[in-house]
């Protein structure tokens, strides 16, 4: 074999061995190490170049060209392997960071009405269907409407049944402002606001009546599982020529049947005391089936409106006779939805509230 042929075989072997080393390199760092062994300062190809010094000009030409060719072949193998490693890395990343495009998208949570609002709306609807107007009045009340006009004068012991928050200010008549302890002051406000209508009807010799409910927020110094400093009541007032306890019973029973969506329900009056009614009664209801069956449940205060209260409305107690009631909306909602702690309504916990959507 000629020297030239041997030299060519050497070069082929080097190219071959470089290709194998590159193929074995599993990472870019290993590949760069392998490259140095062939193309680096002391690499095998570089050594061959250095060894050409003793050759003749003619030999240098052919040998140089052959070495260059081998070098190019090694560089081509190197960049092919680089590309292959880069592709593999990209593929690995794509796999690792893959998005599942079939997952459902994120949506805005669906809102809903608060259970107290739901109960409130039901109450308005049901009484609305029985011919009751729906009134609305101030939560910051003065002590005339909240107590005195309701036959509950200053220093009367019944005031202590309803401790409230006072505002450090009096109205123009010197009555202190307070947060209303019940919706009952709206009995007076509503009647006074409609005084002209009644006077006109009576002047025409016609009967006039008041039939209204007033749902709203009320406040007391109270805080436990069944009392909260802020709570909701609905006031009812029906005054006319001949409105009696019988009407109260029928009206309230029909309301409860509609509110609780059942006919399996009885109602009783239990004697009680309120300064603004005489006689006064608590209304209890009892279900004959369901989780609350057999228990008397107190749902409302009520009574025949006291003649003095009717006078404070600017009306003649001989012509305006009837009943009033005041029920806890929160209490009604607790019974309807089976909630045993009032505070759950006001914690604002979305896990609780979303059950009522
Ligand atoms: N205002 C009373 C309370 O909060 C409830 C009440 C009782 C209202 C009798 C009435 C009524 O209208 O006639 O305790």
- Residues having CB within 6 Å of any atom of ligand 1: 182, 184, 235, 274, 277, 301-303, 324-326
Is residue 319 one of the residues assigned to a domain?
yes
Please give the distance, rounded to the nearest whole angstrom, from the Cα atom of residue 136 to the centre of ligand 1: 16
Residues 6+ apart with CB under 8 A from 328: 231, 232, 233, 299, 300
| pTM > 0.85 | no
CB 238 within 8 A of CB 321: no
181: domain CATH number is 3.30.930.10
Q: Do 85 and 167 fall within a single domain?
A: no
Q: Domain check: are 148 and 80 in the same one? A: no
Same domain, 286 and 199: yes
**Distance, CA 305 to ligand 1 centroid (Å)?**
10
Strand runs (DSSP E) across the chain, as ranges? 133-134, 140-142, 166-170, 176-179, 210-219, 230-240, 265-272, 277-287, 297-305, 321-328
In the chain, the number of structural domains is 2
- Mutation test residue for ligand 1: of 325, 329, 332, the one with most atoms within 8 Å of CB: 325
The domain containing residue 200 runs over which residues? 116-356
62 & 185 share domain:
no
Residue 311 lies in a domain: yes
Distance from Cα 327 to the centre of ligand 1, integer Å: 7
User: Torsion angle, CA of 274/277/278/279, rounded to 10 degrees?
Assistant: -70
Cα(306) to centroid(ligand 1), Å: 12
Q: Do 67 and 143 have their domain in common?
A: no
Same domain, 304 and 338: yes
Residue 285 and residue 137 share a domain: yes
| Atom number in ligand 1 closest to CA 277 | 13
Count of beta carbons in the 10 Å neighbourhood of residue 312 = 20
Choosing from 66, 96, 126, the residue where a domain stops is: 96
The per-residue pLDDT string of the chain (357 residues; one tens digit each, 9 = 90 and over) reads 456 566 677 889 999 999 999 999 999 999 999 999 999 988 998 888 888 888 888 988 998 899 999 999 999 999 999 999 999 999 999 999 988 889 888 888 888 999 999 999 999 999 999 999 999 999 999 999 999 999 999 888 878 778 788 889 999 999 999 999 999 999 999 999 998 999 899 899 998 999 999 999 999 998 888 889 999 999 999 999 999 999 999 999 999 999 999 999 999 999 999 999 999 999 999 999 999 999 999 999 999 999 999 999 999 999 999 999 999 999 999 999 999 999 999 999 999 999 998
């Amino acid at each position: 074999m000629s020297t030239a042929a041997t030299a060519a075989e050497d070069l082929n072997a080097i190219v071959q061995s470089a290709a194998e080393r590159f193929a074995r390199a599993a990472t870019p760092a290993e590949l760069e190490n392998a490259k140095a062994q062939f193309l680096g300062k002391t690499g095998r190809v570089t050594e061959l170049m250095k060894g050409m010094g003793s050759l003749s000009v003619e030999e240098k030409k052919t040998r140089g060209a052959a070495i260059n060719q081998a070098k190019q072949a090694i560089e081509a193998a190197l960049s092919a392997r680089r590309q292959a490693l880069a592709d593999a890395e990209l593929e690995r990343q794509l796999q690792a960071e893959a998005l599942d495009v079939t997952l459902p998208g994120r949506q805005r949570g669906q809102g809903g009405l608060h259970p107290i609002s739901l109960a409130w709306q039901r109450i308005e609807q049901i009484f609305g269907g029985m011919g009751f107007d729906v009134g609305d009045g101030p939560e910051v009340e003065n002590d005339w409407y909240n107590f005195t006009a309701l036959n509950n004068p200053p220093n009367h012991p019944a005031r202590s049944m309803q401790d409230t928050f006072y505002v450090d200010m009096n109205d123009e008549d010197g009555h202190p402002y307070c947060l209303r302890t019940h919706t009952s002051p709206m009995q007076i406000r509503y009647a006074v606001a409609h005084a002209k209508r009644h006077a006109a009807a009576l002047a025409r010799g016609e009967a006039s009546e008041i039939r209204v409910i007033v749902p709203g927020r009320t406040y007391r110094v109270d805080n436990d599982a069944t009392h909260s400093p802020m709570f909701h009541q609905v006031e009812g007032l029906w005054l006319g020529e001949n409105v009696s306890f019988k009407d109260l019973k029928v009206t309230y029973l029909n309301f409860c049947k509609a509110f609780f969506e059942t006919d399996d329900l009885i109602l009783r009056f239990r004697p009680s005391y309120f300064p603004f009614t005489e006689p006064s009664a608590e209304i209890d209801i009892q279900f004959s089936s369901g989780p609350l069956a057999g228990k008397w449940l107190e749902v409302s205060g009520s009574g025949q409106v006291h003649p003095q209260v009717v006078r404070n409305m600017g009306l003649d107690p001989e012509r305006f006779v009837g009943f009033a009631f005041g029920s806890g909306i929160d209490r009604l909602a607790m019974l309807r939805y089976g909630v045993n702690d009032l505070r759950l309504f006001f914690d604002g916990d979305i896990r609780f509230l979303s059950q009522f959507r």
